[in-house]
């Protein structure tokens, strides 16, 4: 699926603006000339050259669209994650959830990605649907389509480990599991730093501060 942007412009508007701008003309007279390559083709609308197409009008100016900063944060990294996931042909993310703000932010961005994937699949983007099938382990000819961001989020291999009471219900998929990090790694250095984190006198932000899925903006 391709995105194409089109506008109709009247080059006479350009010539008119320049011809009526005397200071510009004075500078133009002193400007070194570029070499001209002459090509005998016409760029303009054929009707415009050989006849008068009354229906063709210059495109009206628009107000440029800017996303809010929050939208940029939710959407930019989410699009990056999707491209990285599908083009690396990986089967999912390993997302260590410490319960702190950093891993929480990553989790929210992953969920934002899932919302974008579902939206794009609903719009019929075949490439997105095919990539989603591969990532959740379905064959290309399967009927699977991601329809629910939560379901999709839980259906690719998103492993998480977490401390008790800091579990993200969002990522409770068939592949998520809770595991004692001390058992998983077992190294004394890791164990030492992990214990220091657990016993830190000032704990990180409470889970109640986390964005709910409905608060993630997806307008494009």
Query: Residue 103: CB partners within 8 Å, gap ≥ 6?
Result: 95, 96, 97
- Coil, strand or helix at 63: coil
Q: Which of 120, 133, 158, 162 binds another protein (CB under 8 A)?
A: 120
- Of 54, 107, 59, the C-alpha closest to 81 is 107
Q: Is 31 in the site for another protein (CB under 8 A)?
A: yes
Contact by Cβ (8 Å): 112, 78? yes
Q: Is 193 in the site for another protein (CB under 8 A)?
A: no
Q: Is 169 in the site for another protein (CB under 8 A)?
A: no
Q: Is 1 in the site for another protein (CB under 8 A)?
A: yes
DSSP state, residue 156: S
Q: Which is nearer to another protein, 53 or 180 (CB)?
A: 53
Query: Residue 197: CB partners within 8 Å, gap ≥ 6?
Result: 98
Q: Is 116 in the site for another protein (CB under 8 A)?
A: yes
Q: Is 9 in the site for another protein (CB under 8 A)?
A: yes
Q: Which of 90, 96, 122, 127 binds another protein (CB under 8 A)?
A: 127
Give Cα 45 distance to the centre of its chain.
Answer: 36
Question: Shortest distance, CB of residue 210 to another protein, whole angstroms?
Answer: 21
CA distance 43 to 51: 15
Count of residues that bind another protein according to CB under 8 A: 76
Q: Is 147 in the site for another protein (CB under 8 A)?
A: no
Q: Is 122 in the site for another protein (CB under 8 A)?
A: no
Q: Which is nearer to another protein, 6 or 200 (CB)?
A: 6
User: Which pair of tokens denotes residue 18?
Assistant: 């320049």
Q: Is 89 in the site for another protein (CB under 8 A)?
A: no
């Amino acid at each position: 699926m391709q995105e194409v942007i089109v506008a109709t412009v009247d080059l006479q508007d350009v010539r008119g603006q320049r011809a009526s701008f005397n200071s510009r003309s004075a500078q133009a007279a002193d400007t070194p000339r570029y070499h001209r390559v002459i090509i005998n083709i016409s760029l303009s609308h054929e009707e415009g050259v050989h006849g008068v197409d009354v229906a063709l009008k210059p495109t009206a100016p628009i107000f440029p669209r800017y996303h809010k900063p929050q939208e940029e944060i939710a959407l930019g990294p989410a699009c990056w994650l999707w491209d990285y996931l599908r083009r690396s042909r990986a089967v999912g993310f390993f997302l260590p959830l410490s319960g702190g703000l950093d891993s929480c932010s990553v989790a929210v961005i992953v969920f934002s990605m899932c919302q974008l994937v579902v939206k794009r699949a609903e719009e019929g983007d075949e490439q997105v649907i095919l990539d989603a099938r591969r990532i959740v382990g379905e064959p290309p000819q399967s009927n699977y389509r991601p329809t629910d961001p939560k379901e999709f989020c839980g259906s690719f291999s998103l492993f998480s480990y977490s401390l008790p009471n800091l579990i993200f219900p969002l990522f409770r998929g068939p592949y998520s599991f809770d595991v004692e990090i001390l058992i998983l790694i077992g190294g004394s250095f890791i164990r030492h730093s992990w214990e220091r984190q657990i016993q830190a006198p000032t704990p990180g932000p409470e889970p109640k501060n986390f964005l709910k899925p409905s608060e993630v903006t997806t307008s494009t």
